[in-house]
Structure 1
Amino acid sequence: MQPEFHISHREEDDWTVVEIHGEIDIHTVPRIRDHVVHRLETGHRRLVVDLAGMTFMDSTGLWLLVGIRKRIRSRTGDLRLVITNPEVLRIFHVTGLHQVFPIHGSVESAMTE
């Protein structure tokens, strides 16, 4: 049985905050990609991806974030991540992606720094 997964978004100031709860893996990546791409296609250029509710991420999730970053940069946008899980932070440090993505401890700090 697949663990519960939920994705939602809200507009806050001039940012779009995408919240992801559950696992990011080969099964959920297509839903996340569609959700985010739709936001970008409707003109949203400043995105905070809130991963505080994420319980697991595999390599397809990492590649998805890299792809989203490329799309946003091609539109002269801004992408910031919220990561609070030490295990997930470790993945970003081991892969060197902590140098690619601005990583924050809260949505508020992501939108203001």
Structure 2
Amino acid sequence: MEIDVKDYIDANISLNDRLFPVFTEDLSDVSIVYTFSPVTGGLAKQSQLTLKVIWDDYDRCKEIEKELNEILDQSESDQFIIYNNTKFKSALSGGGVLFNDGPQMYELTLIYIIKWREK
């Protein structure tokens, strides 16, 4: 599931391979760091997807947030997305923004709950 959702994001927004698992040290351009955490198991599983948009331009971070929400923040009436071997629906659950003094970058966090199952 994780690879399918990551590939779905890559295919639907223009990041030029700037999506990284867990962390990144490459801050030469805007980066998105992702982590998945299981919430529930069973046939219809739920996972939490946390995305951190990292860059020194706040407005660019907000543009990417809008793009991510367009493809991942679905309403209850939306159809499930089928991508590769995963059928899923996601909704924005929380987030926020902070300025990280170390690298002098904004970190815009988005948290999604994903309901999913294998096809």
**More strand by percentage:** 2
Fold equivalence (TM over 0.5): no
Higher CA-based Rg: 2
What is the TM-score of this pair, normalised by structure 1? 0.33
What is the TM-score of this pair, normalised by structure 2? 0.32
